[in-house]
Amino acid sequence: MTVAESGWSENEIGVLHAKVKALKASMGKVIIGQEEVIESLIICLLAGGHALVEGVPGLGKTLLVKSLAQATDMEFRRVQFTPDLMPSDIVGTEILEEDHATKKREFRFQQGPVFTQVLLADEINRAPPKTQSALLEAMQERSVTFAGQTHKLPRPFFVLATQNPIEQAGTYPLPEAQLDRFLLHIDVGYPSEDEEIAMVSATTHAGLKDAEPAMDVESLLRLQALVRDIEIGEHLLRYATRLVRATRPRETTVEAVKKHVGWGAGPRAGQALVLASKARALMQGRLAVTREDIGHMLLPVLAHRVLRNFEAEADGIAIADILAALRDAIKPE
């Protein structure tokens, strides 16, 4: 089914695409450099997924997420993950209240910070697995179950979790089941010299500006629906599936995967690759996915889903190198 057959008018599509461009421009006025990171974050949001951001401290990850919330007029909350953080500190807990009129006591569910639209889980790997897993149901089902009662989360709901790649002492690596719930893994690198000078200049003057609203929640929900209707040809659907299947050492014909991968990506990775490619196509102003979209999204979609083996870690083989070899070896039919 084409976009037109799904009931989308050219006028509405044009208006929505203009809002995507305005969103990127609004964030770009606050975040200096990091254009690819901003684009990846917006792609993740349009696809309705969650993002895992990795980068050293001081690169503006918190400002990045806060700016996204401001530019889309969404509610934003931040949770600093620590070793003593409990699951109830995230999802909420029950408190005993007394009705002043009847003097009757009853338990009431007190919502935690997860009941928001944009949640920044800062340094998520500093909390133990029990606390990390408190986010699993929220990320997958968009709901929280407590004491047998299910509480729906606001729509849209977007989790951005950060982790520090250098200080690993006292951290708890995220389990594979939780990693798989993140649509994209976004690597935030150091800025260029000119960008860093501009960043230092902008942040050492008074009156640092917030991101200007560029999109409302209703438009964002419409965009998320439009992403689902972006066209992808049968040959590209098969191409995306073949790329994912080729990450599995027992099935692949790619030598780099056989030699350096311990565990490949599951079917959810194929869904993520197609959705992310559709969102990128929309950002580029197209209503159909191209091979370039799939190739561009391969690394952020699979980087946290493909696990290197001991030999690869010992030899310093990066996951990006393995996926580059995979992309070169697998061609569309």
Q: What is the DSSP string of 205-235?
A: SS-PPPPPP---HHHHHHHHHHHHHSB--HH
For residue 45, what pLDDT is reported?
94
pLDDT tens track of the chain, all 333 residues?
A: 667 667 788 888 899 999 999 999 888 888 877 888 899 999 999 999 999 998 777 667 788 888 888 899 899 999 998 888 888 889 888 787 777 777 788 777 788 899 999 999 988 888 888 888 888 888 888 988 887 788 899 999 999 998 877 666 667 788 888 888 999 999 887 877 887 787 777 777 665 677 788 889 999 999 999 999 999 999 999 999 999 999 999 888 888 899 999 988 999 999 999 999 999 999 999 999 999 999 999 999 999 999 999 988 888 889 999 999 999 999 887
Predicted local confidence at residue 148, as pLDDT = 79
Four-CA torsion 246, 248, 249, 251, nearest 10 degrees: -60
* Phi/psi at 34 (5° precision): 55, 35
Domain boundary assignment for the chain: 231-332
> C-alpha angle with apex 216: 89 to 53, nearest 5 degrees?
45
Q: What is the pLDDT of residue 10?
A: 87
Residue listed under structure tokens 């083989």: 317
Fold designation for 231-332: Helicase, Ruva Protein; domain 3 (1.10.8)
Quick check: bond before 129 cis, omega within 30?
Answer: no
The answer to whether residues 111 and 92 touch, using CB atoms and an 8 Å cutoff, is yes
Rounded Cα gap, residues 47 and 320, in angstroms: 23
138 in Cβ contact with 94 (< 8 Å): no
Six-digit token pair at 240? 């995306």
The predicted model scores a pTM of: 0.89
Q: Output the pLDDT for position 234.
A: 94
Q: Which residue has the tokens 């050219």?
A: 10
Residue 165, pLDDT score:
73
Reported in sequence order, the residue ranges of the chain that DSSP labels E, i.e. its strands, are 51-54, 76-80, 92-98, 105-111, 118-122, 143-146, 149-152, 158-163, 184-187, 261-263, 307-308
**Tokens of residue 142, six digits:** 């968009």
97 phi/psi in degrees, rounded to 5: -120, 150
